[in-house]
């Protein structure tokens, strides 16, 4: 089913993109010779008017073929050819596909909130790892993050995203500590070979048992799901990570636990065992999610806000990638999109719609980059033509297109390598 969900996502986004080009071209009076969903050999198609509508074998793309668009074709000067139109008309046609993808994101994201999503509370710090960048910066449990680099923080997702894209970079964090407002400077560390920023900040997570692993000490000792860990060796436990750290640093020595079960307290002793290079007792936390639906107007507001935040994060990520602040190993291609599509579909309709909106927004923004062979490259050529009052020479266009194609092929090679490494080597 993962493949099916992937084809649904790619099919819709490509169709919408090419439909934007198609409608704008037709409105400008350009003759469209072919509208293809997919690339490569034709599977089937039909012709209506001047246009042949085709479904092609490779689902990773599509195209709209307009009369006189191909530089190799000798222009006839016919009024319905692409190059017979004004610079402004051609620019609107070139931009239409990407802009349609961006508009689609603004349409889809409010649906996420109408269908319902898991609501997040404010970015309240529940735990600060010892010796972490957050500890060095002066964060305390109970702090509520309100801004990072002057960007409003409404939930942990946005906070952690901005931390992730700023490895080894000072970021300004505004927070509330009780009734006091503080501004701290945080420098996230680059974690793993992906160079993703981490700070050692954790959201609130009570030490409540959500799952027991069979055959390990927790199960054998009689711990049960929904048990709350109140103390370990007479040290009060207020966060799951604090409990996890106590187990990890136990050295295999017996731990005296005080727990609460169905409103009653009791004590028990558990001896951690070594598993995969660390001490464990075989428990996982209980994660509480609150599923919430929103009204029409509130969904519109939240959807637009979320889409703008995603666009802002995309800009930051692109800037970091181009300046080598983030590793290119964070990039993914069709395999990653397929895996994410399958996981989102399994998580529910709202997660699937959110993924489609996010990819549509990214697709639209990336296509507007001023790189030849992308829509943004065509817009760059048209802007130069508007300034010069004449088109660029055929030779310059060909060289530019060649460079753009080489960059695109390199990008495809990188994301394909990353996909293979993740798929077969779990990296």
Whether residue 168 is found in the same domain as residue 132: yes
Smallest CA-to-CA distance from 382 within 102, 97, 28, 93 is with: 93
- Summarised one tens digit per residue, pLDDT across range 6-62 is 888 888 999 999 999 999 999 999 999 999 998 888 888 999 988 999 998 887 788
Contacts of 320 (CB under 8 A, 6+ apart): 165, 166, 326
Q: How confident is the model at residue 203 (pLDDT cuts 50, 70, 90)?
A: confident
Please report, for the domain that includes residue 215, its CATH number: 2.30.42.10
Mean pLDDT of 251-278: 91
Smallest CA-to-CA distance from 384 within 376, 30, 71 is with: 376
**Phi, psi values for residue 189, rounded to 5°:** -85, 145
Whether residue 229 is found in the same domain as residue 179: no
- Summarised one tens digit per residue, pLDDT across range 233-257 is 999 998 898 999 999 999 999 999 9
Helix ranges (DSSP H) in 259-393: 296-322, 334-347, 349-367, 375-388
DSSP state of 330: G
Q: Classify residue 64: in a domain, yes or no.
A: no
Q: How many helices (H) and strands (E) does the chain have?
A: 11, 20
Which value, to the nearest 10 degrees, does the dihedral of the CA atoms of residues 229, 232, 235, 238 take?
-30
Question: Which of 69-73, 109-113, 350-354 is predicted most confidently?
Answer: 109-113
Q: Classify residue 419: in a domain, yes or no.
A: yes
pLDDT of amino acid 423: 61
Q: How confident is the model at residue 77 (pLDDT cuts 50, 70, 90)?
A: confident
- Summarised one tens digit per residue, pLDDT across range 395-419 is 887 788 788 778 777 777 777 776 6
Domain count for the chain, please give it: 3
Whether residue 166 is found in the same domain as residue 238: no
Give pTM, 2 decimals: 0.79
Q: Where are the beta strands (DSSP E) in 98-158?
A: 117-119, 123-128, 144-148, 151-152
Cβ neighbours around 128 below 10 Å, total? 24
- Locus of tokens 């961006």: 102
For residue 298, indicate whether it is catalytic: no
Q: Classify residue 78: in a domain, yes or no.
A: no
Q: Classify residue 37: in a domain, yes or no.
A: no
Q: Residue 161 is part of which domain span?
A: 118-204+288-292
> Which range (157-166, 191-200, 267-276, 328-337) has the least confidence?
328-337
Alpha-carbon distance 184 to 172, whole Å? Answer: 6
Single residue among 259, 292, 325 that ends a domain in this structure: 292
Single residue among 285, 303, 326 that ends a domain in this structure: 285
**Candidate list 18, 69, 81, 208, residue with the active-site label:** 18
Single residue among 260, 285, 310 that ends a domain in this structure: 285
Q: Which helix (H) or strand (E) holds 402?
A: helix 394-425
Q: Classify residue 338: in a domain, yes or no.
A: no
Whether residue 104 is found in the same domain as residue 145: no
pLDDT of amino acid 72: 63
């Amino acid at each position: 089913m993962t493949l099916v969900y992937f084809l649904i996502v790619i099919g819709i986004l490509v169709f919408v993109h090419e439909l934007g080009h198609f409608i704008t071209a037709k409105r400008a009076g350009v003759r469209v010779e072919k509208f293809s969903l997919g690339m490569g050999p034709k599977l089937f198609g039909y012709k209506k008017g001047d246009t042949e509508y085709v479904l092609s074998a490779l689902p990773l793309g599509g195209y709209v073929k307009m009369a006189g668009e191909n530089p190799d074709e000798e222009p006839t000067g016919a009024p319905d050819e692409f190059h017979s139109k004004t610079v402004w008309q051609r620019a609107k046609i070139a931009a239409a596909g990407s802009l349609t993808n961006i508009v689609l994101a603004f349409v889809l994201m409010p649906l996420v909130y109408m269908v319902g999503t898991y609501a997040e509370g404010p970015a309240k710090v529940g735990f600060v790892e010892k010796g972490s960048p957050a500890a060095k910066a002066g964060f305390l449990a109970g702090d509520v993050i309100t801004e990072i680099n002057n960007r409003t923080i409404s939930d942990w997702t946005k906070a952690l995203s901005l931390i992730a894209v700023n490895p080894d970079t000072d970021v300004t964090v505004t927070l509330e500590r009780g009734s006091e407002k503080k501004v701290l400077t945080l420098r996230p560390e680059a974690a793993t070979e992906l160079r993703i920023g981490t700070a050692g900040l954790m959201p609130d997570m009570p030490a409540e048992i959500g799952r027991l692993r069979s055959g390990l000490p927790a199960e054998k000792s009689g711990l049960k799901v929904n048990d709350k860990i109140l103390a370990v060796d007479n040290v009060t436990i207020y966060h799951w990570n604090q409990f996890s750290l106590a187990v990890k640093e136990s050295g295999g020595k017996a731990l005296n636990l005080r727990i609460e079960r169905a409103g009653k307290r009791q004590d028990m002793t558990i001896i951690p065992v070594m598993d995969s290079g660390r001490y464990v007792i075989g428990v996982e936390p209980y994660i509480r999610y609150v599923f919430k639906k929103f009204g029409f107007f509130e969904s519109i507001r939240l959807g637009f806000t979320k889409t703008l935040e995603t666009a802002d994060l995309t800009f930051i990520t692109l800037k970091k990638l181009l300046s080598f602040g983030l590793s290119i190993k964070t990039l993914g291609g069709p395999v990653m999109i397929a895996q994410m599509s399958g996981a989102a579909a399994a998580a529910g309709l709202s997660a699937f719609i959110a993924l489609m909106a996010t990819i549509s927004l990214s697709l639209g923004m990336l296509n507007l980059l001023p790189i030849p062979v992308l829509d943004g490259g065509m817009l760059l050529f048209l802007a130069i033509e508007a300034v010069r009052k004449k088109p660029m020479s055929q030779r310059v266009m060909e060289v530019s297109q060649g460079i753009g194609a080489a960059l695109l092929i390199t990008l495809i090679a990188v994301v394909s390598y990353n996909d293979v490494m993740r798929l077969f080597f779990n990296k």
